[in-house]
Structure formats: C-alpha cells, structure tokens
C-alpha cells in the first residue's frame, strides 16, 4: 500500500493485486472512525446495508483466496 500512496501503481499491483481494495477499506475505516457519533452510526448502517445487499466482502474474500492459490501454484 505504500507503493500506492507514492503513486507507483504498477509496482503496487505487481506486488499484490488487492492492494487498492485494502487501501480503500483502510481509508474508509479511518474516515468513519473520526466522524461524530450520529454520522458514524449512519455510515456504519449504510456500509452494512450495502454489504448485505451486494455481498462485496464475501466476493473480495473469495477473490483473495483464489489469488493466493494462483500465486502459490506459481501461475502468476
């Protein structure tokens, strides 16, 4: 993720394809943590609702597992 922050997108993606997703998640968590209580509650509610409707976390986790398996087998 340091490479992404530096703007070295190719190097970051070569090191780990999921780095942009994790960076986005960390930034989102950091923003939600500093929100006032009422807004934080709304943000958590909407993020939870989005997750329940899309299954985004499950999709990312499945993709991450497949990515690890492919890298472990040396196919990438």
* pTM for the structure as a whole: 0.75
Q: Within 13 A of 10's CA, how many CA atoms are on the CB side?
A: 0
Q: Are 27 and 35 in contact (CB under 8 A)?
A: no
Could you count the other beta carbons within 10 Å of the beta carbon of residue 12?
19
pLDDT per 10-residue tile (average), the chain, 76 residues: 87 89 92 94 94 93 94 85
Residues for the chain: how many in total?
A: 76
Beta-carbon contacts of 44 under 8 Å, excluding residues fewer than 6 positions away, are 32
At 47 the pLDDT is: 93
38-57 pLDDT tens trace: 999 999 999 999 999 999 99
At 31 the pLDDT is: 95
Annotated domain spans of the chain: 2-72
At 74 the pLDDT is: 87
At 46 the pLDDT is: 95
């Amino acid at each position: 993720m340091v490479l992404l922050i530096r703007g070295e997108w190719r190097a970051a993606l070569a090191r780990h394809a999921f780095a942009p997703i994790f960076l986005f998640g960390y930034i989102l968590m950091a923003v939600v943590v500093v929100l006032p209580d009422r807004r934080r509650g709304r943000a958590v509610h909407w993020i939870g609702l989005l997750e329940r409707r899309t299954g985004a976390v499950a999709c990312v986790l499945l993709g991450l597992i497949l990515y690890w398996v492919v890298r472990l087998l040396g196919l990438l």
